[in-house]
């Protein structure tokens, strides 16, 4: 009986560790066109609720780690032109960062972080726990 209880508890805890509800964000490499840098994002909602809006900031870094540009935008919702992100669905967003002069290097890196994620009914998500950003 003890062996069966241990097995059930092990499965429960292992399942709890491997299942993570989250907003998964993938940052693609930076594309340079003249004085603009485009940073594509692909987002998938693995949460059980709709994401009504999400605000993110994108920092553009050169090869030495110096910030050369930034942009903050509503990447989900926030305006009539961007609908909510339903559970199990995905969407894309392109950060466009302009520079007054042409970029001197094409070896640029984007760092994206989310400052606010609003779920169904106005409930705020814990960004540190609910959002995963990968490259």
pLDDT per residue as tens, the chain (135 positions): 554 544 444 444 444 344 456 999 999 999 998 899 999 999 999 999 999 999 999 999 998 999 999 999 999 998 777 899 999 999 999 999 998 888 888 899 999 999 999 999 999 999 999 999 998
Is 44 a member of any domain?
Answer: yes
Is 71 a member of any domain?
Answer: yes
Q: Where are the alpha helices (DSSP H) in the chain?
A: 2-18, 127-130
- Reported as type and span, the H/E element at residue 98 is strand 90-98
Residue 106: which domain range? 21-134
Is 13 a member of any domain?
Answer: no
> Can you give the pLDDT at residue 13?
44
Is 45 a member of any domain?
Answer: yes
> Which residues, in sequence order, are CB contacts of 111 under 8 Å at separation 6+?
58, 59, 61
Is 120 a member of any domain?
Answer: yes
Whole-model pTM: value is 0.80
Work out how many domains the chain is built from and give that number. Answer: 1
CATH code: domain of residue 77: 2.60.40.10
Is 8 a member of any domain?
Answer: no
């Amino acid at each position: 009986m003890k062996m069966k209880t241990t097995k059930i508890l092990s499965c429960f805890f292992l399942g709890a560790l491997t299942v993570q509800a989250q907003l998964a964000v993938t940052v693609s490499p930076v594309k340079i066109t003249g004085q603009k840098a485009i940073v594509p994002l692909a987002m998938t909602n693995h949460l059980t609720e709709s994401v009504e809006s999400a605000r993110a900031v994108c920092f553009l870094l050169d090869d030495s780690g110096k910030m050369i540009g930034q942009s903050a935008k509503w990447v989900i919702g926030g305006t009539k032109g961007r609908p909510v992100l339903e559970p199990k669905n995905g969407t894309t967003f392109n950060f466009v960062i302009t520079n007054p002069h042409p970029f001197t290097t094409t070896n640029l890196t984007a760092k994206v972080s989310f400052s606010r994620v609003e779920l169904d009914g106005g409930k705020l998500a814990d960004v540190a726990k609910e959002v995963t950003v990968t490259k």
